[in-house]
Structure 1
């Protein structure tokens, strides 16, 4: 069937083998925090704060670094292609020692680097500017108190050094994304001063030039959050302006905008002005609830724009969701594969015919081709991709997840 499907796509000018090569070269950065509900491994780690919340209490969450790595290895074994892991600073290997955020060092993440090397994957990194006494009032890098602000600046500086060490040792640049929860629940009287302090803090954090072959800086915007309903300091306009001015990567999170607003249409615009794009593929439902990614219209539209704009080589695709109401391994795997399937469908579009029809004003042909592409047997190509990578196909995936739950997760009390 695969050979027949290849011929069918070839008749539309689509090279299936080239699409599969592009899939193999496009890693997805898995978010470590899906495995343990964003708890991390700091001494005394407990409840989330700073407007973050995870709902559900499905049994079997990872409680130790060893369990989280075990779960990640299982997830990676069910994903076609080579991927990455995105670590937050709270996931360091602290050995039970109390290490505050402004004291973290490369040594606290060396075991993660060694593990990633064994797995043959790259790492990405994030400073953790939340769930900490110095973030209890919802302000960090924009805080009026210079001592608190300096604490978080130091944390981010140290995070950059750790990120660069990851990239250097693994031979693949680590993307370090700066997101802070700073905002106001009710109407602020002076938005400008908060944004000026955030800008100044970022300037200080990024002042040291690091090797781009090892480390890439990214900044992430947000519309609103719990406890910051009236104003988020790091808005889309703020960070887009900052990224353009300073030529950092810009992070677009699919759940960080108005519920009716998609990020796909932003891609072609922002990529005209920023060097690289970081995506947090997520699924917001009514608010930034970070549901598991689906093979839905929004995810497909994001991937279509990456392919149609020819910006895949300048884009870093990561995930950001945390659902504790279902099997966490299943959530990780289903969500990642949904993103991959959306990318594959985009790569299998008859792009040249679509562009030619559009340029000639033949919008009827454009519409017909777009609808035909949805109905073509792309799933046969997906199954071939899974087969070539020796991972479960769609009909056997759930059995793998359930077997792991029965043999491993069920034993965690």
Structure 2
């Protein structure tokens, strides 16, 4: 018996004493697929153009060495990251990450331009999610795409959205896992607009046209994502939370909640139970805002744990697609993936190690004393011993051993780019 296993057995006994089945929790965690985002690996530049420059709507900061410059390098880095994360997961691709020798624009992309990604995902046993890219492109005019008053601009982006959905359906059919196709549109204005209504009407009509073709939900599902403000759109964002709540609920779409897309003191954990009552499902972008939508690497903070608790306590895991969204170019990018993904898994595990049904009974009986006492004592329970056992069982590094592997990879691979 390894030391990790011994500590697990000791921790298991403690949890068993309060009615928690740790084996069941680990089985549940094993089935959770986190959709890890490709854009952490190259600072959201993509491969649409040789330069891969960000030109509007988004920004990454930092110049840490070793960013991926080709699809092959990005896949190599992703494989390293996945090897350090327990379980089998998904990869979230943006449209600008096509892998082709053809010179194609966003309104010309086809499934064949992502065939290499699909074959790689099948070899790795991974699912795929997708996102049309409505930023960093010359056709993003005046800070707008689908809501632009110029019909020609809208038609360009409508065509892109249609093609993105076709690609998502192809990915889902090929991998055998439902591909979530998430629409985030950064349209907005820097200063106060006179007319907030017409741009939103144009966005609604553009989206309706994009979604006019039906695809089997066995292969792909659409999600729509809101934002409070963005770079160059500080005063007004067309696709606000209210807009996409209304759109998602009336069009039977998944609603994507991004942890960084709301007011600085607003959290998404408190929205999940309300949204679950009315929506078909949720797409999460787990991120960490620091004063704004800064997309910092996910840490084990209170909000991450509260998101996990809401999902587990309310039995929402089956209706929720968990994806990550952060991009930090000031640190090793593979480490960023590993830290963020493992922390998300840890938060879910902590939530799964609560005696939820007993706590709910206490609440229904207004026994708030016991509720408070137990939730506080749980903070001192040895969940890390359960997590370490989960890592060992999945043949990935325990504790900080993963960092040693990342540092070695940096010296052998990243430093030579």
Does 2:45 correspond to 1:63? Answer: no
Worse-superposed segment, 5-14 or 175-184: 5-14
Q: CA deviation at 1:401?
A: 1.1
Does 2:262 correspond to 1:257? Answer: yes
* Equivalent pair of 1:93/1:109 in contact (CA under 8 Å): yes
Write the distance in 2 (CA, Å) between the matches of 1:243 and 1:53.
Answer: 27
1:88 to 75, 82, 94: 94
Aligned to 1:278: 283
Write the distance in 2 (CA, Å) between the matches of 1:268 and 1:43.
Answer: 42
2:379 to 362, 366, 374: 374
Q: CA deviation at 1:45?
A: 3.5
Write the distance in 2 (CA, Å) between the matches of 1:25 and 1:138.
Answer: 41
Aligned to 2:197: 192
Write the distance in 1 (CA, Å) between the matches of 2:186 and 2:100.
Answer: 24
Alpha-carbon spacing, 1:115–1:375, altered in 2? closer, same or farther (3 Å): same
1:2 to 5, 8, 24: 8
Secondary structure at the counterpart of residue 102 of structure 1: coil
2:57 to 51, 59, 62: 51
Q: How many residues align?
A: 411
Write the distance in 1 (CA, Å) between the matches of 2:229 and 2:372.
Answer: 36
Does 2:71 correspond to 1:76? Answer: no
5+ residue gaps, structure 1, are: none
CA displacement 1:158-208 (0-9 Å, x = unmatched):
000000000001100100000011001101111100000111111111111
* Equivalent pair of 1:50/1:181 in contact (CA under 8 Å): no
Q: CA deviation at 1:49?
A: 2.6
Q: CA deviation at 1:377?
A: 0.1
* Equivalent pair of 2:296/2:326 in contact (CA under 8 Å): yes
Write the distance in 2 (CA, Å) between the matches of 1:139 and 1:67.
Answer: 32
Pairwise mapping of residues 134-283 of structure 1 onto structure 2 (< 5 A)? Answer: 134-283=139-288
Q: CA deviation at 1:356?
A: 1.1
1:31 to 32, 37, 45: 37
Pairwise mapping of residues 299-378 of structure 1 onto structure 2 (< 5 A)? Answer: 299-378=304-383
Write the distance in 2 (CA, Å) between the matches of 1:210 and 1:190.
Answer: 34
* Equivalent pair of 1:224/1:231 in contact (CA under 8 Å): yes
TM-score where L is the length of structure 2 = 0.97
Write the distance in 2 (CA, Å) between the matches of 1:162 and 1:51.
Answer: 23
Write the distance in 2 (CA, Å) between the matches of 1:132 and 1:44.
Answer: 13
* Equivalent pair of 2:141/2:153 in contact (CA under 8 Å): no
Structure 1 residue ranges (4+ consecutive) displaced by more than 3 angstroms after TM superposition? none
Aligned to 1:406: 411
Write the distance in 1 (CA, Å) between the matches of 2:141 and 2:330.
Answer: 26
Q: CA deviation at 1:79?
A: 0.3
Q: CA deviation at 1:47?
A: 2.2
CA displacement 1:221-259 (0-9 Å, x = unmatched):
000111111110000000001111111000000000011
Secondary structure at the counterpart of residue 218 of structure 1: strand
Write the distance in 2 (CA, Å) between the matches of 1:49 and 1:297.
Answer: 34
* Equivalent pair of 2:64/2:332 in contact (CA under 8 Å): yes
* Equivalent pair of 1:187/1:231 in contact (CA under 8 Å): yes
CA displacement 1:336-391 (0-9 Å, x = unmatched):
11111111101111101211111110111111111111110000000010000000
Q: CA deviation at 1:397?
A: 1.6
Write the distance in 2 (CA, Å) between the matches of 1:269 and 1:72.
Answer: 35
Does 2:121 correspond to 1:98? Answer: no
CA displacement 1:98-129 (0-9 Å, x = unmatched):
21110000000011000000000100000001
Q: CA deviation at 1:43?
A: 2.6
* Equivalent pair of 2:296/2:327 in contact (CA under 8 Å): yes
Write the distance in 1 (CA, Å) between the matches of 2:72 and 2:161.
Answer: 26
